[in-house]
Structure 1
């Protein structure tokens, strides 16, 4: 039985209320495929029956599980390649000159999922910053507590490691544990993960030199995008940078950003120095 309109509409309303993510018509297959494991675990006949049971008899834990299932995104090591190249070859050297007195860099990996982006950034900073006596900290945040637990554990399957991680970095930064790979402590201590809804306050996170807000704005409506970009501007240190996904832009959303082209990657910087 296909997902009923009533069940789909209820899920869309729940996800938008809890995360501000918009699921539009045409996403029925996505919703159904993401919720099949939950329905099976609950012993429901199908996804519609599972959703209707929660809709008619509200269960907070089950509602959270639905939201997490639908807000968990695909990720990989050094995803898309070019942004990490721009980060290592242009952004980090520029920041090393600008932050020479403090010798410290902070990076925010927003919507960090299971941690591959945050650990990829840590690998990039290990030689260029930490090895020279600098302090580097990466904060990874996500709405889903489930993916954050995996990120904190820093343990991945061989299939996950094969998604974008060069063999030399695998050997250098990970240790084989049974059939899985564990991130080494020298890398792990650079990264901290915590739960955060991007529509809430960021004040407790502190200030950042670089924000990776990649492949997440596409899920929000215009008003929410504008609000998030405004909040991000306030936590970027003067002279800092923001990276968006390849299909994302500040143009027509928040005009308080300047764009710079590094190779084929657009980086964004708050106008007038930031924290406006």
Structure 2
């Protein structure tokens, strides 16, 4: 791969997906795109770039998907799901008691482990959510990973990563060498293709947004713009959940971090009035009736 090839790919990936590759990531590009080149009968990255320049849109989309598909696993990092169970849901059950509905968004949902972990967490919550209307929206740039997510089929290796054995037994059925998630849990999740660089106001308002381990690939300006758009689709008393290596500090004042629960963020009151009856601050521990 020549320096000019790499610069072309860097520019294209930033425009199409927001991925901001540093100058020393040629090895990553080669490792992910050489298999794409070989599948299409091309000798290497240079030929791949030449074909993309000629207007091969399907190939360009395949390249973007190959570069933006990231690793994921069930209940990744665990702590955000503990926060969901111990603090976020109890507070929302109180503040949403009249409407009895919740909307949760898993942005950059990849092959489905995150939205399905959320769904299992809600299902395990018990009678407190009985009769509630629950919507979990899973979005990703890649249609390929969304199709895998919809199928709910996972290898032995995938179900062994982060998934408690009791949930595997309860919600999965073994089909030969793979495991399929129950139709009940799969039915809790709606899948939509979405590019975070574009407007997503059509998704509506959410009580909780999981946007983890994706913004780290964007530059500061892009992150700031995405945070502003996230704020517009988050309920005034809602919660944004970022990855362990991500933060709003130094990027935006639209959100403020929870002082006691790492990775949780709420809209900054200074940027807008908090409504009457809003959920209590997530720094306070609430015990829900089970």
TM-score of the pair, normalised by structure 1 = 0.94
Count of aligned pairs: 272
Q: Flag the 1:179–1:268 CA change in 2: closer, same or farther, 3 A.
A: same
Aligned with 2:253 (options 233, 237, 255): 255
The alpha carbon displacement at 1:129 in A equals 5.8
Aligned 8 A contact 2:211 2:240 in 1: yes
Aligned with 2:94 (options 82, 97, 102): 97
Q: Does 1:79 align with 2:76?
A: yes
Which runs of 5 or more residues in structure 2 are unaligned?
Answer: 274-290
User: Counterparts in 2 of 1:107-146, with a 5 A limit?
Assistant: 107-128=104-125, 132-146=130-144
Partners in 2 of 1:254 and 1:240 — Cα distance? 17
Q: Does 1:6 align with 2:13?
A: no
The alpha carbon displacement at 1:50 in A equals 2.5
Which runs of 5 or more residues in structure 1 are unaligned?
Answer: none
Partners in 2 of 1:188 and 1:43 — Cα distance? 37
The secondary structure found in structure 2 opposite 1:16 is: helix
Partner of 1:158: 156
Aligned 8 A contact 2:243 2:263 in 1: no
Q: Flag the 1:274–1:76 CA change in 2: closer, same or farther, 3 A.
A: farther
The alpha carbon displacement at 1:72 in A equals 0.8
Partners in 1 of 2:201 and 2:91 — Cα distance? 26
Partner of 2:198: 200
Partner of 2:282: none
Partner of 1:223: 221
The alpha carbon displacement at 1:151 in A equals 0.9
Provide, for residues 180-235 of structure 1, a one-character-per-residue CA deviation record: whole Å limited to 9, x for no partner: 11110111111011001101111211110000011111111111111100000111
Aligned 8 A contact 2:155 2:178 in 1: yes
The secondary structure found in structure 2 opposite 1:58 is: coil
The secondary structure found in structure 1 opposite 2:104 is: strand
Aligned 8 A contact 1:198 1:228 in 2: yes
Q: Flag the 1:25–1:216 CA change in 2: closer, same or farther, 3 A.
A: same
Aligned 8 A contact 1:105 1:135 in 2: yes
Q: Does 1:239 align with 2:237?
A: yes
Aligned 8 A contact 2:18 2:222 in 1: yes
